[in-house]
Every structure is written in C-alpha cells, then in structure tokens.
Amino acid sequence: MSDISPLRTGTSLLSRHECEKAEGFFLPELPRLLPVAYHPKAAQIEFRSNAWVRRYLAGCFADEGDLLKLLRERVGLYAPLIAPTADEQRVLDLADFYHFVGLIDSLAADHSGLGASDRGARDVFDKILADFAAGTDVALSDDSPFGRAARDLWRRISAGLTPDQVLRFRASMSRFLRGIAAELPHQLTGSVPDYDTYLTIRIDSFGCDFILLLTEYALAVDMTGPAASPQFVAVHHHAMRQLILVNDLLSLRKEHGDPMNAVRVLCCHGGLTLQRAVDRVCELVGLHEHAYIAARDAVRHGPFGARADVRSYLDGLDHLLAGSQEYEYLTPRYFGDGSVWDGSTSGWISLTAPIARFLPRAGDASRTTAGRRSRIPHWKEP
Amino acid sequence: MSDISPLRTGTSLLSRHECEKAEGFFLPELPRLLPVAYHPKAAQIEFRSNAWVRRYLAGCFADEGDLLKLLRERVGLYAPLIAPTADEQRVLDLADFYHFVGLIDSLAADHSGLGASDRGARDVFDKILADFAAGTDVALSDDSPFGRAARDLWRRISAGLTPDQVLRFRASMSRFLRGIAAELPHQLTGSVPDYDTYLTIRIDSFGCDFILLLTEYALAVDMTGPAASPQFVAVHHHAMRQLILVNDLLSLRKEHGDPMNAVRVLCCHGGLTLQRAVDRVCELVGLHEHAYIAARDAVRHGPFGARADVRSYLDGLDHLLAGSQEYEYLTPRYFGDGSVWDGSTSGWISLTAPIARFLPRAGDASRTTAGRRSRIPHWKEP
C-alpha cells in the first residue's frame, strides 16, 4: 500500500491567524475519474425519503422550518447517487438511513444542544444504540422519534443482511457515534489535531464502516470475508481517504473554523496558507483516487476478481466515491441554504457570503456572458 | 367530442366576498391515470439547464437572489418529466426553452414591471418575436439577454424541425405572447371572465401550441398533418383542458386573487364557494382526463394508429399530462419558496401560509406520527 504523506517540504509558513482570516479560496478541478450515475428512480426516492423524515423524525426539529431546511439539503438524493444500480427499495432504505445519520451529524454540530458536551452526546448516543440493539422489540427501547426511526431502519435493513453483517452494522453505528463524540472536544475548544489523529477520528465520525457495509447491502452482497483480506486493505484505505478529503474540500465553506477538516489541519500543523492547504488536499485527493483505482484493479485481476459479488462490490465502490462527490457539489448543505447547483465544479468560493457559488476569480461576480457584471454578487438574506 | 359543462344545477350560492375570504381549501386526490416517469438523466439535465439560465438570462434578474429564486422553482425538471423517453439533447433544449417562457410568465406577473400594462408588454413581446424571427441573424435582432436567449433557442430547436413545424413554432410563440398580453387587463382590473372567454385566452397564454409542437420535437416526429385532422381534435381538446385545469388547482395558492383561474371563474360566475369550485374543477379534470384517454384510444385504433410516429406522439401526450401534474406537485413555485415535496398529493392547503403543504384537515398541522402535534404549523420567515 502506497503511503501518501500530507506534508511536503518547501511550503511557505504562515501564522495561524493569517490562515483563518482568508475570505475565500479557489477550488481547482478535481480528477473525477470515476463514473457518476443517478439511480433511474432518483427523484421519486428523494421525495419518498422526505416523507419518511416527516413521518419519523419531525419531532426532532424545533419547528417545521428546521425540518424543511434539512429537506432542502437534498440528503434523499445521496443514496440514489452512491447506489445508482441497486434495487429501488434498498436505495430507499439507504436514503432514509442517511437522512437519520445526517440529522445526528447536524444536531451534534449544534453546540448549544446535543453537541454542548461530549458526555451529554454520549448519553444520547447510548440510547440510540440501545434502539438499534433492541431491534424490533419495542418494549426494550424508548419511544423518542430517534428510537422509532432507529427501530424502523433496523427492521428494514437487518432483514437483508447476513448474521455477520448484522454484527458489523451494530458495531459500525457504535463506532460512528464514538467518532462524533470524539470530535466534540476539538470543536468545543478549537484545538486542531495532527493529521494522523485527525484521520483516525474522522474515519469513525464519517461513518466509513456503515458506508461500506451499506454499499454491500445496496448490492445484496456480503464482503465480510473478502473485506478482511489483505487485498482489500489498500482499496478501502484509499477509498475512504478520497471520500473524506473530497468532503473536507467541498464542506470547507460550511465548516470554516471547524478544526476537524484536513485543510485546517494542514494550515495549522503544516504552516500553509489556506489556499496552499486547499491545493495540497486537492493533490492528496488525486493521489488517493489514483491509488484506489490501482488497488481496485489489483483485486479485479487477482484471485477475488473471478467472483461476481466482488466485481459488483468494486463497481459499487466506484459509484460510492463518484456519487458522494457529485452530491457534495449539489447540496445546499455546503454552499448555503437557498443555493442551487448549475453543474460547475471549480472556481473561487467565498467563505463569508451566505450563499456561495463557484466564481471565476476572487471577489469576482462577473457573469459568464462576457462584458456584463452582476449588480449584487451574492444573495442577500430576505 | 363530448361536451363538458363547467356548471351544474343545485349548487349553493355564495357572495363573491365570501369566496375570496376563504383561508384555504381541501384538494382531493386527482385521478392520475397516466404514467409518470422521469428522464434517466433528469437531474443532470436540470443542473445543465440551470447553467444555461445563468449564462443567457442572468441579466433579466434584478440580482443573484432573484435568479436563485427562479432556479429553486426547479423549472429545469419540467422537460425531463414531460419527455422522459426523448433524446437527452432535445430534452435539454426543452428545459432551456421552458426556463425562458417561465421567466416571461413570471415577469408578466410583476405588475410594477413588464406586466404594468398590456401595451408595454406587447411592445416587449414584439421584440422577443423579432428575435425569434431573426433566427440566427444577429444584425436583425437586439442584444438584450432575451434576444440572445431567443436566438440560441431558435438556432437549436429549429434545426430539428420540418419547414411546417418551423412556421408553427413561430406562430405558437406569437399566440403565447398574445395570450399573456390578453390576460393582463383582467389581472390589472380584477375582472373575472366567463368560462368560455377564460378558456379561449388561457389556451393561448398557457402556450398550448408550443407545448404540443415541442412534444413532437422531443420525439422527432412531425404531426402537422395528423394534428389538423378531425380525429385529433378531441385528443387535443381534452388534453389541453386537463393540463390547464390541473394547473389551476395546483397553482391556486400562488395565484389566489388572480381572476385567470378556473376556480375563480366558477366562484364568481357560478356562485360557488371556494371549496365547491375546487371540487367542481377536480371533477372537470377527471372528465377531461377520461375523455382524453377515450379520444386517444380512438386514434390508436383508427387509421392513424398504424403509424409509429403517431403512436409515439400519443405516448408523448400521456407523459406530457402526467409529467406536468407531477411537476406542479413538486415545484416551490406553487407551494412557496423554500417548500420541499414529500410526495403527498391531497390534503388541506392554506392560502395564507408563506409555505404550504398538504395537511390532513383545515388548520391542522398534526404530524402523521399519531399523537404528536408540531409546535409551529407553518414555516416562519427567517
């Protein structure tokens, strides 16, 4: 497995303060070597998952406005993008599941509520895990909206998993919630971890274990055996790093100031300017994407490559990476509530505008039609 | 052709004032007998069409916020819904075209701007028509954003039309703009036309001629001959009325107070309460939908039914009606900026909430999860 180091020599040093005061950054085109596809029923799945959120999770929002804000993030389109060839019902199960964990993630980011302390969050997470562990036994779990939603998801998804996968599903939720809780001290104090510590926590808090497990679920395959073999280690290693680093770039505007972002880690521990840190993370994305493709091809051409389920799973990983990236360009979660994607994937991004979009140059809001300039570069709050 | 009369005897009389003061109405389930399908590339087409709007029409908006508000209406999804089986590039041409005419429609609704007088609007529309007539000859038309957009659309679409269709395309735009201008005196004075006058204007202002022509374009067929034959008269008659009446129901919240709506026409000229007028328009939708299906089947089983292009066109009309209705449920254009569809198609609709959705009962915002009620029934403006 190739070792990709985040820092190189010869980088210009900058104070932490200077890194933080940047008003924006330029995002270059990323490689995007993997195939983007939408599930043929993507739109219908998104709308149906919106209905599931209303039915099961409405009680988790302060009001209807907060619920609509989540729905405007289009989380229901994530599953149709990462599992474009899967059975419609399984994609719907994934869509509802990602709405569920996306909401946990959003609530943990509210440092006046669930995310006010890691101890408080751990207590809530213990209850959520108990709801998963209770399976379909209502008497064993609580009657909170989270409890009902967790039981519904558990019932639907575990029915399509092997016993090995059921154990991994439960363990993956535990690891995810542990990761979210482990991020909180950094977020509450602002302390930026070093790159290795960062990645260790982030692999958990990103939900990598259930992301991989649910990729198996979507395709109705069980990779418990192969995934533990040495041939798969490099595949998953690079896939998960590509996934996380692309997310760090595209969520940077939303998470500006959040210490749990690779760009911030490289700014603070590598002494890079914000732009140089962005550029370096873009390079790392490319390195991990190429390394993933090489490792995936090695499995394809190795002893596992003859198995139809393995080949299906490897195609699924391609879609997972490509689909996640596509989702992160299009979601108003990262570019600001009210934004609408126009398909552009590179440009200057403001960190201060309430709604951002890719602009040709820093501070430049000129229309792409030559010679005219917009009157107001950024959306004004109503 | 069956004659469907809008008014029956035995309806309760109500004053115009009482009709206008209603705070909402209950929308029953509509028949939806025709097949809903999304183009496999629906999402990508929507995003690409958003980019076209930014490139060609940005100058028509007061600012970036107004442009984003249009994009949030998801007009770019209309073409993938009404032409789900068509060639991707042709669907993209339609998506851009419907963004263009949708913007004209929105600007005409601004009675302090383009829609301040029908004479002023007619002058602007004459220029738009000149841009279409100029074809690709830049010297003959103006350099406004509308002019450039019209020329781009003309160039792309006319290349795929027969000479007969090119003439119909130009005539259809003229008839559409004449219809929009003819609506303005009613909208500016509030005078409600009778049902026949209403339908005559509305067939024009709804763009029925280009909607049908572009259905041919999407499927690469020329129905100029068949469409003029007696067999097709009933097909188009009922199809266009179903299209208009469904739109009147689903846009009623947005257009509350607009005299150019069948519900308003039946309130004022039939003395119906708002709810009874809604119920009657729902019945009319069902009658026209059934009559359309019967007329379509008569063509299928008649002499034209052996032609592959005719059969393809009839399937296209099915998708046109079903897809339009699906679009009208999902668009924030009708339910309020910031709304997100959850797939529901029936319920009580508030005419006063800034964002509406289908509720179980009048004024009732109880969650569908039994026993809990939302804290705040409607979205509060930020």
Model confidence pLDDT, tens digit, residues A12-26: 444 455 566 789 999
Contacts of A354 in chain B (CB under 8 A): none
Binary contact (A374, B63; C-beta < 8 A)? yes
Q: Residue B325 contacts by C-beta under 8 Å, 6 or more apart in sequence?
A: B30, B32, B36, B246, B250
Binary contact (A54, B368; C-beta < 8 A)? yes
pLDDT top residue among A136 and A57: A57
- Element holding A24 (H helix, E strand): strand A24-27
Contacts of B382 in chain A (CB under 8 A): 65, 381-382
pLDDT at residue A382 above 60? no
E strands, A78-178, are none
Q: What is the pLDDT of residues B106-145, one digit of tens each?
A: 888 877 777 888 787 778 778 877 777 666 565 555 677 8
Contacts of A376 in chain B (CB under 8 A): 63-65
Q: What is the pLDDT of residues A128-184, one digit of tens each?
A: 777 776 665 655 556 778 888 999 999 999 999 999 999 999 999 999 989 999 999
**pLDDT at B256 (0 to 100):** 81
The average pLDDT across A30-52 equals 97
**pLDDT at A366 (0 to 100):** 43
**pLDDT at A111 (0 to 100):** 78
* Band (B99; pLDDT cuts 50, 70, 90): very high
How far is C-alpha B166 from the chain's CA centre?
22
Q: Residue A96 contacts by C-beta under 8 Å, 6 or more apart in sequence?
A: A49, A52, A53, A56, A149, A152, A153, A156
Residue B154 exposure: Cα atoms within 13 Å on the Cβ side: 25
**pLDDT at B139 (0 to 100):** 57
Q: What is the pLDDT of residues B234-289, one digit of tens each?
A: 999 999 999 999 999 999 999 888 999 999 999 999 999 999 999 999 999 999 99
* Average per-residue pLDDT for chain A: 88
- Residue A159 CB coordination number (10 Å): 10
**pLDDT at A281 (0 to 100):** 98
What is the C-alpha separation between B351 and B252, in angstroms, rounded? 8
Binary contact (B72, A372; C-beta < 8 A)? no
Burial label for A87, CB within 10 Å (0-12, 13-18, 19+), is middle
Q: What is the pLDDT of residues B326-382, one digit of tens each?
A: 999 999 999 999 999 999 999 999 999 999 999 987 666 543 333 333 322 222 222
**pLDDT at B113 (0 to 100):** 77
Binary contact (B342, A145; C-beta < 8 A)? no
**pLDDT at A13 (0 to 100):** 46
**pLDDT at A178 (0 to 100):** 92
How far apart are the CA of B67 and the nearest CA of chain A, in angstroms? 9
**pLDDT at B53 (0 to 100):** 98
- Residue B14 CB coordination number (10 Å): 18
Q: Which residue in A355, A377, A382 is closest to B382 by CB distance? A: A382
Binary contact (A381, B382; C-beta < 8 A)? yes
How far apart are the CA of A9 and the nearest CA of chain B, in angstroms? 40
Q: What is the pLDDT of residues A85-126, one digit of tens each?
A: 999 999 999 999 999 999 988 888 877 777 888 787 778 778
Contact at 8 Å (CB) between B93 and B153?
yes
Interface test with A, best of B54, B327, B345 (most A CBs within 10 A): B54
How far apart are the CA of B66 and the nearest CA of chain A, in angstroms? 8
How far apart are the CA of B71 and the nearest CA of chain A, in angstroms? 6
The reported pTM is 0.91
Q: What is the pLDDT of residues B154-184, one digit of tens each?
A: 999 999 999 999 999 999 999 998 999 999 9
The average pLDDT across A226-236 equals 93
Contacts of B39 in chain A (CB under 8 A): none
Show the tokens assigned to A110: 């509210």
The average pLDDT across B66-72 equals 96
The average pLDDT across B207-228 equals 96
pLDDT at residue B191 above 80? yes
Q: Residue A75 contacts by C-beta under 8 Å, 6 or more apart in sequence?
A: A49, A95, A98, A99, A102, A331, A333
**pLDDT at B138 (0 to 100):** 56
